[in-house]
Amino acid sequence: MTVRVRFAPSPTGMFHVGGARSALQNWIYAKQQGGVFVLRIEDTDAARNKPEWTEGILSALDWIGISRGSYEGPYFQSENAGEHRAAATRLYESGRAYYCDCTREDVQARTGSQYQGYDGYHRDRGLGPGPGHALRFRTPDEGVTVVVDLIRGEPTFENKLIEDFVIARGDGSPVFLLANVVDDMTMGITHVIRAEEHLPNTPKQQLLWDALGVKPPVWAHVPVVVNEKRQKLSKRRDKVALEAYRDEGYLAGAMRNYLMLLGWAPSGDREIVPWSVIEDEFRLDEVNPSPAFFDEKKLRAFNGEYIRALPVAEFVEACQPWLTGTGTIAPPPWQPDEFDADAFAAVAPLAQTRIAVLSEIVPNVDFLFLASPMIDEAAWTKTMKDGSGELLDAAVTAFEALESWDAESLKSTLEAVGAERGLKLGKTQAPVRVAVTGRTVGLPLFESLEVLGRERTLTRIRAARLRLP
Among the options 50, 204, 229, 235, which is catalytic? 235
Any catalytic annotation for residue 232?
no
Written as one letter, the residue type at 108 is Q
Going by C-alpha positions, the residue among 6, 371, 436 that lies closest to residue 182 is: 6
Which stretches within 264-406 are classed as H helix?
275-281, 296-309, 312-324, 341-352, 361-369, 377-383, 388-400
Distance (Å, rounded) from C-alpha 188 to C-alpha 208?
15
317 Cβ neighbours under 8 A, 6+ residues apart? none
What distance, in Å, lies between the first and last C-alpha atoms of the chain? 83
143: left (phi over 0), alpha (psi -120 to 50) or beta: left
Q: Are 382 and 388 in contact (CB under 8 A)?
A: no
Q: Are 431 and 388 in contact (CB under 8 A)?
A: yes
> What are the C-alpha distances in Å from 331 to residues 155, 283, 336, 372, 373?
52, 43, 9, 18, 17
Distance (Å, rounded) from C-alpha 107 to C-alpha 307?
58
Residues annotated as catalytic are 235
